Amino acid sequence: MSHWIIAPVVLPALMAAVMVIALRGNLALQRAASLAAILALNAIALALLKASPTPEAYFLGDWPAPFGIVLVLDRLSALMLALLAGLALPVALYAIGSGWDAKGAHFHPLLQFLLMGIGGAFLTGDAFNLFVFFEVLLIASYGLMIHGGGGARTRAGIQYIAFNLLGSSLFLFALALLYAVTGTLNMADLAVKLPQLPEGDTALLRVAAVLLILVFAIKGALVPLQFWLPGTYANAPGVVAAMFAVMTKIGAYATLRFGTLVFPPDLPATGPLLADLLYPAALATLAVGAIGTLGASTLPRLAAFAGIASMGTVFLALSAFTPASTSAALYYILHSTLATALLFLVADLVTRRRAHARLGPAPAIPAAGPIGALYFAAAIALVGLPPLSGFLGKLLVLDALRDRAALAWTALLLASFLMLVGQARAGSILFWKAEPAAPAPTREPLALAAAFALLAALAALTLFAGPVSDWLAATAQALHDPAAYIAATGLEAA
């Protein structure tokens, strides 16, 4: 299995190169190649998921850690790879069915490069290569963001670039501090060396930890660094915004990886520093997302603020840094990625039929029944109402935060109520208060099928919540006891 660990990075990289060099200008062949690669990626991700209970390392160039580049497959990285591949398939089908991939050059190569960057970020066991994969996925996302052109999209893309360049700069400063203090950037090696750090170096280490949290806060749209997300996601093509739903989870993934491996709460040098920073920021993020959903003027902006609220919920659970809260956060990551992506696809379906995105009077849309059902399902999933997985996810988060019930429970329940009001307002405008005259029918069966596939995934996550939760609980336990992860790299825990 070891050589398959690098496949999620190599496969999309090779396919993107083939499409740019050999299939340039042939959209039909690019579509076929892209779908074939994504199907293969799903098969590989499932195989890696099956093999993941025992951490396994892949040493590029056969150089041992910490001197060479190392990829590490464990339960968390395999889970995130499966989520990435599972989301990519309906997104690619929607892009083909709606014709979005034909509105600009190189959509499918850029999508493959994005998959390469995100997959590498999930697998890398080295902090510097996490930075490298961040840059790969960001370059691809820049191109996808402005796909199809337009002034508003270009302005939002510039804002997106500016914020992420800031994040990249902070990331380099943090890595420089870490290397200066420890002489390594291998994450397992950092976990071994940091407990032995001289007391005189702890101040620099705390600065590096804060800088890293700022970087991950930018990636995860955590308040006060969330300003880039509403404009970016609301102005991106709907299919691209749906794919971006997994990109914000990279911030949560990196926070979880560093918070359990490199800067665990029992590390004397940093202690509960990460938790102390994340908890109030998560509460503020939850509030901003809920209020933004309530006051959104367009459906894509509503979806963007719902995504911010979901990240607030994830970081709220992560901030406790216990196995129970980690397990709840992982379940909610799965749920919110699928639900947010579904809402962005619904927003695109509605916008394409109304010729504008504003939540105001407009003619009734064709295929209002299926699209209305999709919107209703996405709304109750994101709000956290039964019977879909959002209800179960929030129950898990509430249960994991029982010791913070006074504030965390109040914030989470109040935010859910505000989101319910905002989603109900938007739904009534879109589907109940439409004007009688309807535009010409728009038939996009493949696009609708892709959206319903995401809904089916949410339903499956609900039906199999028991075994999924058990698997995630084991994943959380492994994260909070990283000795096996460290041993897989050939190092020994302190």
pTM (2 d.p.) = 0.94
- Long-range Cβ pairs for the range 376-381 (8 Å, 24+): 376/427, 377/342, 377/455, 377/458, 378/339, 378/342, 378/343, 378/346, 378/455, 379/343, 379/423, 379/424, 379/426, 379/427, 381/335, 381/338, 381/339, 381/342, 381/458
Please answer whether residues 300 and 344 qualify as being in contact, where contact means their C-beta atoms are separated by less than 8 angstroms: yes
Please answer whether residues 35 and 92 qualify as being in contact, where contact means their C-beta atoms are separated by less than 8 angstroms: yes
* Section 6-22 average pLDDT: 95
What CA–CA distance (Å, rounded) separates 56 from 483?
12
pLDDT at 492: 66
Peptide bond into 224 cis (omega under 30): yes
Bridge partner residues of 57 (DSSP)? 72
Q: What is the largest CA-CA distance in the chain?
A: 74
Q: Look at the block and give the residue holding tokens 């698997």.
A: 471
Say how many C-beta atoms besides its own lie within 10 A of residue 197's C-beta.
17
User: Which one-letter amino acid corresponds to residue 366?
Assistant: P
pLDDT at 34: 95
Q: What is the pLDDT of residues 42-101, one digit of tens each?
A: 999 999 999 888 899 999 888 877 888 899 999 999 999 999 999 999 999 999 999 888
* Section 364-383 average pLDDT: 87
With 90 as the cut, is the pLDDT of residue 38 above it?
yes
Q: Look at the block and give the residue holding tokens 């010791």.
A: 403
Mean pLDDT of the chain: 90
pLDDT at 297: 87
Q: Look at the block and give the residue holding tokens 């979806």.
A: 303
**Top-confidence residue, 250 or 365:** 250
What CA–CA distance (Å, rounded) separates 48 from 78?
6
pLDDT at 225: 82
Percent of the chain residues topping a pLDDT of 70: 96
What CA–CA distance (Å, rounded) separates 272 from 252?
17
* Structure token digits, residue 298: 């367009």
For residue 104, name the pLDDT band (cuts at 50, 70, 90): confident
What CA–CA distance (Å, rounded) separates 104 from 239?
13
Q: What is the pLDDT of residues 118-159, one digit of tens each?
A: 999 999 999 999 999 999 999 999 889 887 767 777 887 788
Helices 465-480, 323-354: crossing angle, 10 deg rounding: 130
Say how many C-beta atoms besides its own lie within 10 A of residue 270's C-beta.
22
Compute the Cα dihedral for 270, 272, 277, 281 and give only its sign. positive
Q: What is the pLDDT of residues 263-289, one digit of tens each?
A: 999 898 888 999 999 999 999 999 999
Please answer whether residues 76 and 49 qualify as being in contact, where contact means their C-beta atoms are separated by less than 8 angstroms: no
Q: Are strands 56-59 and 70-73 parallel, antiparallel or unpaired?
A: antiparallel
* Section 465-483 average pLDDT: 95
Percent of the chain residues topping a pLDDT of 90: 67
Q: Look at the block and give the residue holding tokens 């050999």.
A: 22
